[in-house]
Structures are given as structure tokens and as C-alpha cells.
Amino acid sequence: MKYQVIILPAAKVDIKQAAKWIRQNNSPEKAKLWVREVNDAILTLDTFPARCALASIDNAFEEEIRQLLFGKGKNTYRVFFTIQDTLVIILRVLYTARDIEAEFEAFIDTQIKLENTVICNYTT
């Protein structure tokens, strides 16, 4: 079964910020390569997304939150997503060293909506 992969605005911002950091601290070429590779990794979620482990923040959401690890060693990022019917919704793309719970505080008591469908509820 194929899933449609949707990247939410917050995740797009995460990708842009990471690319900017890579560009400033490495090179524009490495930043472009990273963006291409992270997008390729995200697109693999169109097939069997449940292969990815539940995220440590999963118990704070009504829906299952999974994570795809991308990168190697100290350059690893976590792609957080949820699966809803035939959709894979990318919530955030965060560097592993960041405070993940703090990054998700913006979702507290809010609903992320896509075409009048509740995608994810965050509750404490």
C-alpha cells in the first residue's frame, strides 16, 4: 500500500533552518545535498511507514508519533511523523541533540488540521 506523504509547515521550517546551518558551517553544496537526502529519506515513508519506531514523545499524543532517523553519528536528525489512514504527516525534522519535548511544546493543546481533518492532538 502506498501512502501520501505530507510535510507540515513546521517541518519545512526545520529543514530550511538545518540547511542554513549546514550552509554557514560547511558549504552550500553540502546544504543542498543534505536537503536532497533528507527529502529522499522522507519520501521512503510512502511505503510501510510503520517500520519506524515509536518516538519517545508518543505518549503525549492521541495518535502514534513515529520517528525516522536520518544521518550518521553526530549528524543524525529525527523525522517525526504520524500515520492517518493513507497519509503520512511529517510533523518536525529535528537534530537529535535538540530538546525534543521543548520543540513540541508549540503543539500543546492545539490541533493540527489538514483539509478539515484533525491530524494530531497534543495533550498533557
3-state secondary structure of 67: strand
- CATH 3.30.2310.20 matches 4-121: yes
pLDDT, position 72: 86
Q: How far apart are CA 25 and CA 59, in angstroms?
A: 35
3-state secondary structure of 18: helix
- pLDDT of residue 80 exceeding 60, the answer is yes
pLDDT, position 78: 95
Q: How far apart are CA 20 and CA 121, in angstroms?
A: 30
Domain ranges in the chain are 4-121
Burial per residue of 62-85, b for 16 or more beta-carbon CB atoms within 10 angstroms, e otherwise = eeebbbbebeeeeeebbbbbbbbe
What is the per-residue DSSP string for 69-119? EESSGGG-EEEEEEEETTEEEEEEEEETTS-HHHHGGGGBT-EEEETTEEE
Q: How far apart are CA 2 and CA 98, in angstroms?
A: 31
- pLDDT of residue 120 exceeding 50, the answer is no
pTM given for the model: 0.82
Report pLDDT digits (tens) over 35-54. 999 999 999 999 999 999 99
Which cell is 59 given?
505518549
pLDDT above 90 as % of the chain: 57
Report residue 123's pLDDT band, with 50, 70 and 90 as the boundaries. very low
pLDDT, position 122: 43
pLDDT, position 73: 84
